Amino acid sequence: MPASPIRKLTPYADQAKRDGKKVYHLNIGQPDIETPEGMLNAIKNISFKVWAYTASEGTLSYRKKLTEYYNKLNYNISPENILVTNGGSEAITIAMQACLNPGDEIIIPEPFYANYNGFACMSDLVVKPILSHIENGFALPEVSEFEKLITTKTKAIIICNPNNPTGYLYSKQELEALKNLCLKYDLFLFSDEAYREFCYDGKSFISPMHLQGLEENVVIMDTVSKRYSACGARLGCMITKNKEVLAASLKFAQARLSPGMVAQIAGEAAVDTPQSYFDAVNKEYTERRDILVKALNNIEGVYCPNPGGAFYVVARLPIDDSDKFCQWMLEKFEYNKQTVMMAPATGFYSSANAGKNEVRLAYVLNKEDLKNAMICLEKALQEYPGRLIGSLKLADSLN
């Protein structure tokens, strides 16, 4: 079971804080945006007398409310198409375990959300990574590259759109290409849509649910964590029009009993969050993205593509090893008693030695903190012994 690249450096960050350093947390997608007031009020106004189990598939009232939300997005579903889960994580694991047998293969464009590796390990599946590249902003690889990986054991493809960790927003043309591939080989298309609301520069979000003819192959995984800045609610859902998948998934849901009652009460209220909330959040994240991407590309030797969605970037740094660098930042470096915590990109790849000079940064801090964090990063890159100058490390060049 792999360790989380997002959380494994936490002990070093904790020690840095004990040493009196301010740590800018760009390592994890924990938004600082306030949770909608309606969600919090729903919790405050709870009046039940018994904190009881709910139905394994989720309460009918919450699933009806979710149906309102998704049908505004033209998903054309009913409450029977929804399985409420304990976070988006459980939606992913249930989808994997319901649709694939032990030893089956799942294709994932990389870099990908690191926990897909963990979920696949829990489900006894084989991850077949397909490499995307920073030079073209991590666009979806050509279908011909996918076909090279398909075997009799291949059962599914999973995408995260907009993407974590790269922020890439898949186009309709890319999704149509995946649709044709899934129909050709009868594969499931899993779509992790945690960042659906976070699309920038007037770009539109396209879901596999919008593609005609793919209804039986699509499984959507979703969560309230990012949309409503409610990561601690641990409330997600799985959506599909495939009745066999739903029936199998319900068995897994019954085995873990039920999703939480309080979270569903809050989730039901969240659906009524006004559009003005999302407009303000979108504006804020667009400004943060612009600050971060510009600052990164202004640092000598750094390259960062401009993402179309989510709230992450993957940047290429002039370093020898991102794991060593991120740990060094916390253990050895400080600038005005400040340092930066980032996620080494190696953990977002399944291919060996990929992402060695890349890091993921989450722009979930206020704009002033982001600016200060980028000053810290620039200073750190000037001092880091493993900095690459041409093909040489800084330490070698000083000897």
Domain boundary pick from 270, 305, 326: 270
Size (the chain), residues: 399
- 4 part of a folded domain: no
Within a domain: 230: yes
266 with 136, same domain: the answer is yes
Amino acid 2: pLDDT: 80
CB 338 within 8 A of CB 24: yes
| Enclosing H/E stretch for 85 | strand 82-85
204 inside domain: yes
Q: For the chain, how many structural domains are there in total?
A: 2
Residue 192 belongs to some domain of the structure? yes
Runs of H (alpha helix) within the chain: 10-18, 37-44, 60-72, 87-99, 115-122, 143-149, 172-185, 243-255, 261-270, 275-297, 322-331, 367-383, 394-398
Same domain for 225 and 331, yes or no, is no
Do 240 and 143 belong to one domain? yes
Q: For 164-188, give one letter per residue: b (16+ CB within 10 A) or e.
A: bbbbbbbbeebbebbbebbeeeebb
Q: Identify whether 367 is part of a domain.
A: yes
Token look-up 């898949």 returns 170
Nearest to 289 by CA among 146, 168, 180, 157: 168
Report the pLDDT value the prediction gives residue 3, as an integer from 0 to 100.
76
- From the first residue on, what is the mean pLDDT of each consecutive set of 10 residues in the chain (399 residues)? 80 96 94 96 96 98 98 98 98 98 98 95 97 96 96 98 98 97 98 97 96 97 97 98 98 98 98 97 98 98 97 97 96 97 94 93 97 98 90 58
Torsions phi, psi for 310 (to 5 deg): 60, -160
Same domain, 222 and 334: no
Q: Are residues 260 and 332 in the same domain?
A: no
Quick one: 128 and 244 in the same domain? Answer: yes
Identify the domain boundary among 270, 287, 313. Answer: 270
* CATH number of the domain bearing residue 96: 3.40.640.10
Residues 256 and 343 in one domain: no
Mark whether 24 and 62 lie in a shared domain. Answer: no
CATH number at residue 356: 3.90.1150.10
Within-domain flag for 103? yes
Strands 188-192 and 218-223: parallel
> Tokens at residue 243, please?
């009745």
State which residues form the domain around 83.
37-270
Q: Is 308 found in the same domain as 242? A: no
Residues 157 and 252 occupy one common structural domain: yes
Residue 1 within any structural domain of the chain: no
> Does 112 lie in the same domain as 81?
yes
The CA R_g of the chain, rounded to the nearest whole Å, is 21
The whole-number pLDDT of residue 87 equals: 97
206, 241, 270 — which closes off a domain?
Answer: 270
Residue keyed to tokens 């990561």: 231
Query: Does residue 182 share a domain with residue 307?
Result: no
The verdict on residue 389 lying in a domain is yes
